[in-house]
Amino acid sequence: MSVWAVLAAAGSGERLGADRPKAFVRLGEQPLLAESLARLDASDWVDAIVVAAPPGWEEPAILLAEELGCGKVSACVTGGATRADSVRLGVAEVPADAAVVLVHDAARPLLDDAVVERVVTALGEGWDGAVPTLPIPDTVKRVDGEQVLETLRRDELRVVQTPQAFVADILRKALSGSDWTDCSAAVEAAGGRVRIVDGDPRLAKVTDAADLDRVAALL
Ligand code: C5P
């Protein structure tokens, strides 16, 4: 069973206020991208990697992979205008005989191999996809403008992270649909059965400068 990882790293990261795309902002000694790239490359669950790089940053991404000795990087594509476009462009590089596609955000650098194992092995149990999730500590309400419409049942809600694993053929078909914020939503909309597995609080997404400091402290 071959597992191909698509690493979405093409975001501009405007909310970080840096002079470069988020994937190339420093995290410790390296660009942010280095952490997830090296961890995917080191994973026994991953056979090959496609990186979706920000426009104009394809070469630095390839050089970084070479510097890190990431021999599993098979292609580096130019990302699209949205995350969904970048994932589509990355998945287009995955060969037809790949069994599983693992989609991960470079903005979640602290990738533990145990999470990769959990999502990939769930597919062996017959699920179409598997996503890491965390319970929600706060009460969540649905609102319309300033008015509360409803209080949602917290035990029915989860925060969703990446990496997300999918049966390759099912993901390919689902991605032809409209825009979505995570790949699981596309697979769900196409009728796919997606399982939740335990996520990892360390997989928090880097969005602003404070997140970067928090994640750097956990390195
Ligand atoms: O912007 P946000 O943090 O939600 O992006 C999540 C992930 O998707 C990041 O790793 C980012 O690099 C990636 N992305 C992308 N192409 C885009 C926008 C975001 O690959 N056009």
pLDDT of res. 181: 83
Question: Residue 144 C-alpha to ligand 1 middle, in angstroms?
Answer: 27
Q: Domain limits of the chain?
A: 3-218
Question: Residue 8 C-alpha to ligand 1 middle, in angstroms?
Answer: 6
pLDDT of res. 177: 74
Question: How many beta carbons lie within 10 A of that of residue 126, not counting itself?
Answer: 9
Q: Is 104 in the pocket of ligand 1 (CB under 6 A)?
A: no
Tokens of 30: 């390296």
Measured by CA distance, the residue closest to atom 2 of ligand 1 is: 11
pLDDT of res. 38: 98
**Quick one: 8 exposed, middle or buried, by C-beta within 10 A (0-12, 13-18, 19+)?**
buried
pLDDT of res. 42: 98
Q: Which helix (H) or strand (E) holds 4?
A: strand 3-8
Q: Is 9 in the pocket of ligand 1 (CB under 6 A)?
A: yes
Could you read off the pLDDT tens digit of each residue along the chain, which spans 219 residues? Answer: 799 999 999 999 888 888 999 999 999 899 999 999 999 999 999 999 999 999 999 999 999 999 999 999 999 999 999 999 999 999 999 999 999 999 999 999 999 999 999 999 999 999 999 999 999 999 999 999 999 999 999 999 999 999 999 999 999 999 987 778 889 999 999 999 999 999 999 999 999 999 999 999 988
pLDDT of res. 154: 94
pLDDT of res. 26: 93
pLDDT of res. 15: 86
Nearest atom (ligand 1) to Cα of 107: 10
pLDDT of res. 69: 98
Question: Residue 21 C-alpha to ligand 1 middle, in angstroms?
Answer: 10
pLDDT of res. 163: 98
Question: How many beta carbons lie within 10 A of that of residue 191, not counting itself?
Answer: 10
Q: Is 162 in the pocket of ligand 1 (CB under 6 A)?
A: no
* Homologous superfamily of domain range 3-218: Spore Coat Polysaccharide Biosynthesis Protein SpsA; Chain A (3.90.550.10)
Question: Residue 6 C-alpha to ligand 1 middle, in angstroms?
Answer: 12
Question: Residue 68 C-alpha to ligand 1 middle, in angstroms?
Answer: 22
Q: Is 10 in the pocket of ligand 1 (CB under 6 A)?
A: yes
